[in-house]
């Protein structure tokens, strides 16, 4: 058997993030010599899931404001009751994303047969957080304070008709919009919105459909816009994706989440497929140096690569992830909390579909949090994961909160967490409490890309979207084109389209 140094590699892939792992999946039937390395001791890079022990170690290395370039300002907080938590009984996702059922990613996982190794769970209801309010009685000096609550967002005709908090007039406007957005790319609908494509979606909803601020907040929440100021064109596309995804895999949900770790699980499945196809994997090993090699007849345009363990190798191509991003990149503040309750009200099935394992709660921009009058500049989103995701034990759940980074973001996320738990308290019982929290900031790009330079390709960071962006798949295809030059049209058409391996079922391939 040839040593790594003696092997003539067709491609070295550095990093096991989602894009590199999907590339490994796409190349798994190519017959190429593939070396796949990762300087981390775990799969998934920014999409990884970590145990509590790993989170503690991970956060300790990223406490500074610069961190590792992608993650920074990490801080772990434990309650007095956290001593009972099993260090390896949890799997916390660094950057969880839901996947709409009409996502091209799911189509690729099906056509490549990778879906056989994945279990998808339903993402259930979307909620709007309603803060507490104080109203004075007109007949006396007394006042009444309402507790914070959650309002479920209707996203189908049936939901709208069943809702008892929306007026009849508002329902007509909302129904008109839902009908409009289902066919918004056709005439005459395009004549209505294209003149306002760059305007805010909120202003378009108010002018064209006479929707009030509350209904605007409902619709904008479904877009999962990070800044809450999404344009009409982008907003309609996002709402169309959500509405058209409803019911594809069953009633009552429009998105799914992969069990055991979300995108990290997909990355690991891609790497397993690569290994089954003959790729060599090395964790804890990165790239130390890359130089253009002297031309030879066998490898006329090779690269001389030195691994971090000082091993020299030669490869025709190199594909890796971006190291440190530019400072002007977008940054997201995240707060992940383990809660000592399963918060059952969040995961109720609203139809005959499956019991959801994920729910989404939005705190709209401008919402007042706390008694000091502080309010949110940007929306805060909380993705609640039940124990069915495999990320925590039964009787608990995990809340993933996020908002655009700002000096006030850490305090606002803490207040949002407290307010959310207060809204979920059951009368007569103690309010749910967080047992373990980790705060950190993450950097990402708005538009995913790949920079191809000669025989090398560098993936940008993924967008910080809360729902998977299918644009992430385009750079993977471009990297595949680099590794697979001069393919025929027939071969190109078979990109990520595989048959089941002969003599192997899903369990056989997974075990390998």
Residue 429 in domain = no
Neighbours of 153 (CB within 10 A): 19
3-state secondary structure of 303: strand
Question: Same domain, yes or no, for 173 and 234?
Answer: yes
Question: End of a domain among 220, 245, 270?
Answer: 245
pLDDT value at residue 161 = 73
Question: Same domain, yes or no, for 273 and 302?
Answer: yes
Residue 367 in domain = no
DSSP string, 80-148: GGGGGS-TTS--EESS--BEETT-HHHHHHHHTTGGGG--EEEEEEEEEEE--EEEE-TTSS-EEEEPP
Residue 425 in domain = no
Question: Same domain, yes or no, for 229 and 307?
Answer: no
Residue 420 in domain = no
- Average pLDDT rounded to a whole number, residues 6-28: 96
Residue 125 in domain = no
CA 477, 225, 119, 14 dihedral sign is positive
Question: How far apart, in whole angstroms, are the C-alpha atoms of residue 298 and residue 480?
Answer: 21
- With tokens 């300790």, the residue in question is 60
- Per-chain mean pLDDT for the chain: 90
Question: How far apart, in whole angstroms, are the C-alpha atoms of residue 67 and residue 442?
Answer: 10
CATH number of the domain that residue 32 is part of: 3.50.50.60
Determine contact, residues 253/7, Cβ cutoff 8 Å. no
**pLDDT band at residue 509, thresholds of 50, 70 and 90?**
very low
Question: Same domain, yes or no, for 196 and 232?
Answer: yes
Q: What are phi and psi of 69, to 5 degrees?
A: 100, -30
Question: End of a domain among 245, 280, 302?
Answer: 245
Question: Same domain, yes or no, for 187 and 233?
Answer: yes
**pLDDT band at residue 136, thresholds of 50, 70 and 90?**
very low
Look at the chain and report how many structural domains it folds into. Answer: 2
**pLDDT band at residue 295, thresholds of 50, 70 and 90?**
low
3-state secondary structure of 503: coil
Per the structure, the complete domain to which residue 229 belongs is given by: 156-245
- With tokens 């009908």, the residue in question is 179
The model's pLDDT over 389-413, given as tens digits with 9 standing for 90+, comes to: 999 999 999 999 999 999 999 999 9
Residue 73 in domain = no
Neighbours of 221 (CB within 10 A): 23
Instruction: Tell which wins on pLDDT, 323 or 458.
Output: 458
Question: Same domain, yes or no, for 456 and 489?
Answer: yes
CATH number of the domain that residue 194 is part of: 1.10.405.10
pLDDT value at residue 510 = 36
Long-range contacts of 238-243 (CB under 8 A, 24+ apart): 239/181, 240/181, 240/182, 240/184, 240/185, 241/100, 241/102, 241/467, 242/100, 242/155, 243/155, 243/156, 243/178, 243/181, 243/182
Q: Which of 458, 438, 436 is nearest to 449 (CA)?
A: 458
pTM for the predicted model, two decimal places:
0.93
Residue 401 in domain = no
How many whole angstroms from its chain centre is CA 173?
Answer: 31
Residue 112 in domain = no
Question: Same domain, yes or no, for 208 and 287?
Answer: no
């Amino acid at each position: 058997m040839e040593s790594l140094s003696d092997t003539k590699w067709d491609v070295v892939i550095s990093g096991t993030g989602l894009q590199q792992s999907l590339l490994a999946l796409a190349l798994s039937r190519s017959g190429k010599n593939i070396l796949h390395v990762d300087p981390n001791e775990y799969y998934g890079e920014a999409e990884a899931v970590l145990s509590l022990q790993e989170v503690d170690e991970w956060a300790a290395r990223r406490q500074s404001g610069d961190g590792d370039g992608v993650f920074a300002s990490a801080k772990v907080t434990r309650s007095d009751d956290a001593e009972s938590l099993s260090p390896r009984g949890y799997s916390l996702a660094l950057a969880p994303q839901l996947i709409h059922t009409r996502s091209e990613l799911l189509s690729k996982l099906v056509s490549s047969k990778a879906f056989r190794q994945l279990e998808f769970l339903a993402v259930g209801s979307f909620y709007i957080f309603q803060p507490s309010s104080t109203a004075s009685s007109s007949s006396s000096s007394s006042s009444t304070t309402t507790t914070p609550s959650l309002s479920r967002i209707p996203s189908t005709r049936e939901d709208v008709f069943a809702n008892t908090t929306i007026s009849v007039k508002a329902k007509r406007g909302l129904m008109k919009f839902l009908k409009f957005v289902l066919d918004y790319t056709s005439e005459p609908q395009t004549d209505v919105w294209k003149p306002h494509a760059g305007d805010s979606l909120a202003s378009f909803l108010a002018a064209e459909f006479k929707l009030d601020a509350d209904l605007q907040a409902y619709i904008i929440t479904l877009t999962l816009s990070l800044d809450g100021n999404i344009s009409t064109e982008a907003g309609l596309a996002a709402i169309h994706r959500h509405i058209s995804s409803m019911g594809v895999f069953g009633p009552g949900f429009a998105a799914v989440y992969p069990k055991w770790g979300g995108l990290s699980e997909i990355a690991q499945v891609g790497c397993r497929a690569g290994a089954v196809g003959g790729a060599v994997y090395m964790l804890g090993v990165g790239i130390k140096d890359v130089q253009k090699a002297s031309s030879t007849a066998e490898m006329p345009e090779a690269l001389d690569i030195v691994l971090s363990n000082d091993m020299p190798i030669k490869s025709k191509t190199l594909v890796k992830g971006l190291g440190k991003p530019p400072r002007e990149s977008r940054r997201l503040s995240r707060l992940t909390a383990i809660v000592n309750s399963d918060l059952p009200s969040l995961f109720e099935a609203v139809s005959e579909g499956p019991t959801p394992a994920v729910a989404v709660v939005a705190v709209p921009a401008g919402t007042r949090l706390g008694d000091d009058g502080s309010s949110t500049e940007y929306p805060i989103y909380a993705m609640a994961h039940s124990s069915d995701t495999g990320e925590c034990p039964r009787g608990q759940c995990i809340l993933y909160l996020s908002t655009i980074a700002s000096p006030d973001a850490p305090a606002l996320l803490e207040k949002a967490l407290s307010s959310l738990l207060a809204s979920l308290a059951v009368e007569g019982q103690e309010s749910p409490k967080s047992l373990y929290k980790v705060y950190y900031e993450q950097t990402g790009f708005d538009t995913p890309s790949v920079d191809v330079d000669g025989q090398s390709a560098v993936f940008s960071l993924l967008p910080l979207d809360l729902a998977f962006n299918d644009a992430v798949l385009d750079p993977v295809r471009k990297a595949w084109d680099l590794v697979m030059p001069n393919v025929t049209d027939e071969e190109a058409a078979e990109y990520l389209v595989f048959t089941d391996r002969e003599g192997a079922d899903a369990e056989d391939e997974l075990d390998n």
